[in-house]
Structure 1
Amino acid sequence: MDKPQKKQNLAPRNAPVQGRSRERSRQILDATSELLEKVGFDDLNTILIARAVGISVGSLYHYYPNKHAILFAMGSRWLEEVEAALDSIALWPIEEMDREELVDKMLAANLKAYKQQKAILTLVQAMFAVPELRELDERHDEMYISRMAEVFKRMGSKAHIRERERMGRMYLEITHAACLVIVHQKGQRAQRTLDDLKLMVITFLNCHIS
């Protein structure tokens, strides 16, 4: 019988509380983002990360025990950006806003979170495919769906919570896939894709919320 694989430790070695430690931790995550964009997930390793930061591998291990722990911290940081975008949306006077204006602003807030994270496509693919990171993917989806279900209620939906969560899942899948495309496009091409996304979202909402 095969032995069960030992689950990797994803917790940082020491929580960075001092300013210098927090700055070093940020440098590690930023360097990992750059490398993830250049070399991809499979070729990324702690030797490359340490070299990019300008520290030894031993020093790197004082902060994170392995590659997956660094990626977990990166994913967690991105989730904080997504949550901040959703928090800002929750503060808007949604009940009073024109639907097209609301969709424009929601997509702009969402897209900003995607643009702030380098190598976002590779990161979210890893969050879905790598067992050690899948918790992040699940947290992202649960948070997004529950928040959008509340937004739909404030927009006037009378549907049951389960139906609004189903709608939230559809909204997430549509916007998530499109945002991952838009961040890798430029100029008019990106704008046309964003315009198509707005049209799809507004059509979807008009079908479900009178």
Structure 2
Amino acid sequence: MTRRKPRQKRSEGTIDRILDATAELLEELGFDKLNTNLICERAGLTPPALYRYFPNKYSVLKQLGERLMRVQNEALYEALEESGPAPTVQQIADQLRGQYEVTIAQKGASWIMRALHATPQLVDVRRSSHEKMVERFIAIQMVQGQDQDRDKMERRSQIIVETGYAIVEMLVDNAVLDTEATIFDTATMISQLINETAAENRDS
């Protein structure tokens, strides 16, 4: 066991180097011009060394997308734990701002998000991540201990999750928008849906 750890650490380091190199190239060149030869050159690897981990550029992008989704979700998990099932507009705005900030901190984020939307091989990365977040929203609402319509709760949670991510993507892609105003407007809209759901649960 002890002899495997250095090899595993080297493998993890190589994968990180490949992912970081790909993210840099995405920022510089975009998706269409990206290829494995450029990734190898930037990462300082031979093609056979790259193919030990990734068979093509889509597999690299898949892991980049998973890394971005994981960073976004972990930041939101922490914020949701602090706010509980009935967040204020300000808390929702803080959550959205946090999502936006962790996203723009990731190299190549805008191109990664576009690829997750437009590339058939990558669509499931985004869908799977959002499904996990919907389940987390549902779990937080369930702690209220009230009888709730599962279908309605799932539908509204999905609306909230998809709206939040869509706004983050819109802000990343459109630098002329007023970020704070957009975040607050979205938080107000989401808050209204959450409050309506809570009121319906109290009356049921």
Question: TM-score, normalising length from structure 1?
Answer: 0.77
CA-to-aligned-CA distance 1:98-126 (integer Å, 9 cap, x gap): 52343134323433442333332322232
Q: 2:190 aligns with which of 179, 197, 201?
A: 201
CA-to-aligned-CA distance 1:50-105 (integer Å, 9 cap, x gap): 1212223233223322111111111121232233224324533615x652343134
In structure 1, the residue matched to 2:65 is 75
**5+ residue gaps in structure 2?**
1-5, 200-204
Count of matched residue pairs: 194
**5+ residue gaps in structure 1?**
1-15
CA-to-aligned-CA distance 1:130-154 (integer Å, 9 cap, x gap): 2222221221121121112223344
Instruction: For 1:23-102, list aligned pairs within 5 A.
Output: 23-89=13-79, 91-92=81-82, 94=84, 99-102=88-91
Q: Counterparts of 1:115 and 1:47 in 2: how far apart (Å)?
A: 26
Q: Which shifted more, 196-205 or 67-76?
A: 196-205
Q: Which structure carries more relative contact order (alpha carbon 8 Å, separation 6+)?
A: 2
Q: Counterparts of 1:152 and 1:121 in 2: how far apart (Å)?
A: 31
In structure 2, the residue matched to 1:133 is 122
Q: Counterparts of 1:66 and 1:98 in 2: how far apart (Å)?
A: 43
Structure 1 runs (4+) deviating above 6 angstroms are none
Contact 2:69 2:126 in 1 (8 A): no
Q: Which shifted more, 184-193 or 139-148?
A: 184-193
Give the root-mean-square deviation of aligned CA atoms. Answer: 2.7
Letter in 2 for 1:180: E
Question: TM-score, normalising length from structure 2?
Answer: 0.79
Contact 2:88 2:191 in 1 (8 A): yes
CA-to-aligned-CA distance 1:159-196 (integer Å, 9 cap, x gap): 31211110111112211111112234569822222222
